[in-house]
């Protein structure tokens, strides 16, 4: 570094009257820092500040309109005894991720083939992902409506059921319902991302394997899958973070009900913090997501670094 | 009170301007506030989307222009889903900006007591002019020392039921006890016409059903001291046990996922026989006699009657939905907003809106019981004086902030929902008791 600095100094030796600011900016370290400033400012404003504010709130007894006093970890201790929010988020994330991956991969493999209308089909597949979640979830809400469910109506007319299925009113079915909608919404993201990954795999590898006598399943398992794995990992980890912190879908469909059976971290934090106005408790609930997400992020970063090195 | 005319207003505000002029800058600075009307002539009022759509029309088409004429203020009238009002209020308070006046339901003002303006003078003035507030309106909008909201109205809650369907199972009048109601519901459900009630997280029908039901068995959240939690009692457990069977035998089980609108739709479409509600079902059916008909092709509204909730072993209770207008502390427009509240709650102006409600709401003051609206339709009569004997959330204690928290977390409702979904009654009660206790300690 010192040498390059010296060289540059000499190259500019003939230029007269350089002010201290110009000199400072010619130093890459300062210029770099300066160019990073806007990003750093945005990150601080929109990510660091809310996060720090959340942490500060969670260790007080603040309520709406009342700043509150420091209470240490009391809110977190109370949460540890809270029966409402424990399993649902993990179950929701785990189940939806498995389904989204399996269906998304399947869809990606299908879309990777040549068939007429390929471009149009690919565009249509993205629809659930493109429509604003709140809108599409409202449509689902009507389909699952306790009284007017079109799904129930169809099944009833087809003589498959003889009484209504209580989609959103039964705790287990409500969980299944939100899982169905999340999978429906998430599959296109998986499919398109994995399709992009599939297209980077050279067809020659497949052809070589085929010539060697590999069956389709063997070709997938020994050629496609290992090559697709880096993309898959990134997609899965990204999706896990998204799903874990999901809010709008559950908020619209069940509001966390029936009797709190489908509350995720985010919806529960919203009900406590924003609905009831117990800001500190709400902040504590949303921060409870943090350790789990941190693990996911660390795994993701480590993995990406490993891929980069290789 | 005197009608607040444009002329009066001009005189007043003109006087204010003169006072400001004579006192000069010093007087304005000393008052710590810019001359009130000069700050802004717009008041932003947030309310729920009314269950009587005609009333929101009246607000927009008559009251908003009238406000401009009488007060010289632009009234920004905004309506949102009632279940979103609490979130909106929290956001507004925390950000320090939002509607100047928020119309809250239940005892919500208690949650925001620190963030609203003391409106004692105004509330007392209106109470005095209109023959006094109902106990429930006073209780939810005052904290014992001062008024934290100006009571607006009370949505009466009565059971709307299908006369002919109850007659078909041999009942010429509505069941008087919970046992009778359960028997009737069982027969009706067997015919595919269950009772429809929500046990979901929703502001109105859920608490107005679950709380009086609890009280009628002798259960209560706390003792009269407002501190000693006594929810876990034999009476509560009995009520939960009865509800478990009652729900299965007689209710539409989709009710767990209902909000305040679902029972209206279900009743109007003829899938339920009976539901506790404001009079909106009846009013809507009457408004559209061709759209809503019975299976025999007659207008549905002619087959609807209203009745109070049945009796339990400890008595017969009701919980009607009070609404209060909170003047928000962050408002930069407080003086104007207060004038607006004085104007809109005054008898003449309130009357315009009250007429459009057709009895769906009772006034917050007793004077409205004398209104001619009650002579128009005998089916609406059970609502007239319903609020007189109403209890409110938090009983036997006051409907204070803690009671509002219990309500906002839907603990009592979830207690019944959990049991109806299969949790043993004792366990559900214990859970609810602990949750209530956490709030009260």
Q: Give per-residue pLDDT as tens, B256-295.
A: 999 999 999 999 999 999 999 999 999 999 999 999 999 9
Q: Give per-residue pLDDT as tens, B232-252.
A: 999 999 999 999 999 999 999
Q: Per the CB < 8 Å rule, is A171 touching B91?
A: no
Mean pLDDT for B18-36 is 45
Q: Per the CB < 8 Å rule, is B90 touching A147?
A: no
pLDDT at A21: 83
Please tell me the total number of residues recorded for chain B in this structure. Answer: 441
**Residue B3 DSSP class:** -
Q: Give per-residue pLDDT as tens, A155-185.
A: 999 999 888 899 999 999 999 999 999 999 9
Q: Are A61 and A74 in contact (CB under 8 A)?
A: yes
| CATH class of segment(s) B40-153+322-366 | alpha beta
Chain-centroid distance of CA A84 in Å reads: 23
In chain B, what residues touch A279 (CB-CB under 8 Å)?
A: 90, 94
- In the three-class reduction of DSSP (H, G, I as helix; E, B as strand; rest coil), residue A101 is classed as helix
Least confident of A199-213, A294-308, B60-74, B165-179: A294-308
Q: Are B161 and B274 in contact (CB under 8 A)?
A: yes
In chain B, what residues touch A166 (CB-CB under 8 Å)?
A: 253-254, 256-257
A279 interface with B at CB cutoff 8 Å: yes
pLDDT at B22: 42
pLDDT surpasses 80 at A4 = no
CA B366 – CA B135 distance, rounded (Å):
10
CATH topology of domain B158-319+409-440: D-Maltodextrin-Binding Protein; domain 2 (3.40.190)
CA B330 – CA B102 distance, rounded (Å):
12
Q: Give per-residue pLDDT as tens, A250-291.
A: 999 998 889 889 999 999 999 999 999 999 999 999 998 888
Q: Per the CB < 8 Å rule, is B256 touching A258?
A: yes
Q: Which residue of A has its CA nearest to B113?
A: A65
Least confident of B19-33, B147-161, B170-184: B19-33
pLDDT at A79: 86
Strand order in the sheet with B158-162: B274-277, B158-162, B304-307
Residue B335: both structure tokens together: 């003086």
Angle (CA) B361-B365-B366 rounded to 5° is 95
Q: Give per-residue pLDDT as tens, A106-147.
A: 999 999 988 898 889 888 888 998 899 999 999 999 999 988
pLDDT at A85: 65
Where do the DSSP E strands lie in A110-176? none
Domain boundaries, chain B: 40-153+322-366, 158-319+409-440
pLDDT at B1: 43
Of the candidates B90, B112, B253, which has its C-beta nearest A169's C-beta?
B253
Q: Is the ipTM of this complex over 0.90?
A: no
**Average of per-residue pLDDT values in chain A:** 88
Q: Per the CB < 8 Å rule, is B257 touching A258?
A: yes
Homologous superfamily (CATH) for A86-263: MetI-like (1.10.3720.10)
**φ and ψ at residue B5, rounded to 5 degrees:** -90, 170
CA B231 – CA B213 distance, rounded (Å):
13
> Nearest C-alpha of chain B: how many angstroms from A291?
26
Residue A44: both structure tokens together: 């601080």
Counted across chains A and B, CB pairs separated by less than 8 A come out at: 105
pLDDT surpasses 60 at B390 = yes
Mean pLDDT for B185-192 is 96
A66 interface with B at CB cutoff 8 Å: yes
pLDDT surpasses 50 at B19 = no
> Nearest C-alpha of chain A: how many angstroms from B112?
7
Choose, out of B90, B93, B415, the residue to mutate when testing the contact with A (most A CBs < 10 Å). Answer: B90
HSE toward the beta carbon, residue A116, CA cutoff 13 A: 0
Q: Which residue of B has its CA nearest to A149?
A: B254
pLDDT at B441: 83
| Buried-exposed string B265-298: b where 16+ CB fall within 10 A, e elsewhere | bbbbebbbbbbbbbbbbbbbbbeeeeebbbeeee
Q: How confident is the model at residue A310 (pLDDT cuts 50, 70, 90)?
A: low
């Amino acid at each position: 570094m010192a040498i390059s600095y010296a060289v540059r100094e000499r190259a500019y030796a003939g230029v007269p009257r350089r002010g201290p600011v110009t000199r400072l900016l010619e130093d890459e370290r300062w210029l770099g820092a300066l160019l990073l400033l806007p990003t750093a400012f945005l990150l601080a404003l929109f990510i660091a500040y809310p996060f720090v504010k959340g942490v500060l709130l969670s260790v007080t007894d603040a309520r709406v309109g009342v700043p509150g006093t420091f209470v240490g970890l009391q809110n977190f201790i109370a949460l540890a005894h809270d029966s409402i929010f424990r399993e649902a988020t993990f179950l929701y994330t785990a189940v939806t991720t498995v389904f989204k991956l399996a269906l998304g991969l399947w869809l990606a493999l299908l879309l990777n083939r040549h068939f007429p209308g390929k471009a149009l089909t690919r565009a249509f597949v993205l629809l659930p992902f493109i429509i604003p979640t709140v809108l599409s979830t409202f449509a689902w809400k009507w389909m699952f409506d306790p009284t007017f469910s079109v799904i129930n109506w169809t099944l009833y007319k087809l003589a498959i059921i003889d009484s209504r299925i209580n989609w959103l009113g039964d705790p287990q079915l409500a969980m299944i319902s939100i899982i169905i909608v999340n999978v429906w919404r998430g599959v296109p993201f998986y499919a398109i991302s994995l399709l992009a990954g599939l297209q980077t795999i050279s067809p020659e590898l497949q052809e070589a394997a085929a010539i060697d006598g590999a069956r389709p399943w063997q070709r997938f398992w020994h050629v496609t899958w290992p090559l697709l794995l880096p993309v898959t990992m990134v997609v899965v980890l990204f999706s896990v973070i998204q799903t874990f912190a999901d809010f709008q879908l559950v908020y619209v469909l069940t509001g966390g009900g029936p009797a709190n059976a489908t509350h995720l971290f985010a919806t529960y934090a919203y009900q406590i913090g924003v609905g009831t106005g117990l800001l500190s408790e709400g902040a504590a609930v949303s921060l409870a997501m943090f350790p789990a997400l941190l693990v996911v992020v660390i795994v993701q970063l480590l993995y990406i670094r490993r891929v980069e090195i290789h | 009170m005197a009608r607040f005319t444009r002329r009066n207003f001009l005189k007043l505000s003109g006087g204010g301007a003169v006072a400001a002029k004579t006192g000069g800058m010093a007087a304005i600075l000393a008052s710590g506030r810019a001359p009130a009307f000069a700050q802004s002539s717009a008041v932003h009022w947030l309310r729920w989307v009314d269950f009587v759509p005609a009333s929101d029309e009246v607000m927009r088409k008559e009251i908003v222009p009238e406000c401009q004429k009488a007060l010289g203020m632009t009234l920004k009238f905004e309506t949102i889903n009632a279940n979103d009002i609490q979130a909106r209020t929290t956001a507004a308070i925390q950000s320090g900006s939002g509607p100047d006046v928020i119309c809250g339901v239940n005892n919500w003002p208690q949650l925001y007591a620190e963030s609203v303006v003391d409106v004692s003078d105004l509330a007392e003035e209106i109470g005095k002019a209109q023959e006094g507030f109902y106990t429930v309106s006073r209780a939810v909008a005052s904290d014992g020392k001062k008024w934290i909201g100006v009571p607006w109205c009370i949505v009466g809650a009565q059971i709307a039921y299908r006369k002919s369907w109850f007659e078909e199972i041999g009942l010429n009048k509505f069941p008087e006890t919970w046992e009778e109601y359960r028997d009737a519901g069982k027969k009706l459900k067997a015919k595919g016409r269950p009772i429809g009630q929500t046990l979901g997280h929703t502001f109105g029908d859920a608490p107005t059903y679950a709380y009086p039901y609890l009280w009628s068995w002798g259960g209560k959240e706390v003792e009269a001291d407002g501190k000693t939690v006594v929810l876990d009692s034999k009476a509560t457990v009995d009520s939960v046990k009865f509800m478990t069977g009652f729900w299965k035998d007689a209710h539409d089980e989709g009710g767990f996922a209902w909000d305040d609108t679902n029972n209206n739709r279900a009743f109007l479409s003829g899938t339920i026989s009976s539901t506790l509600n404001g009079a909106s079902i009846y009013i809507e059916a009457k408004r559209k006699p061709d759209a809503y008909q019975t299976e025999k092709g007659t207008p549905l509204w002619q087959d609807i009657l209203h009745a109070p909730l049945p009796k339990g072993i400890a008595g017969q209770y009701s919980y009607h939905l009070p609404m209060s207008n909170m003047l928000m502390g962050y408002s930069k427009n407080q003086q104007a907003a207060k004038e607006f509240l004085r104007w809109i709650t005054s008898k003449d102006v309130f009357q315009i809106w009250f007429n459009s409600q057709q009895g769906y709401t009772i006034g917050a003051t007793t004077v409205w019981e004398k209104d001619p609206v009650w002579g128009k339709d005998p089916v609406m009569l059970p609502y007239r004086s319903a609020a007189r004997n109403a209890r409110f959330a938090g009983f036997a204690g006051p409907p204070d902030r803690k009671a509002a928290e219990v309500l906002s977390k839907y603990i009592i409702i979830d207690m019944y929902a959990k049991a109806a979904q299969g949790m043993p009654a004792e366990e559900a009660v214990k859970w609810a008791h602990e949750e209530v206790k956490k709030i009260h300690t």
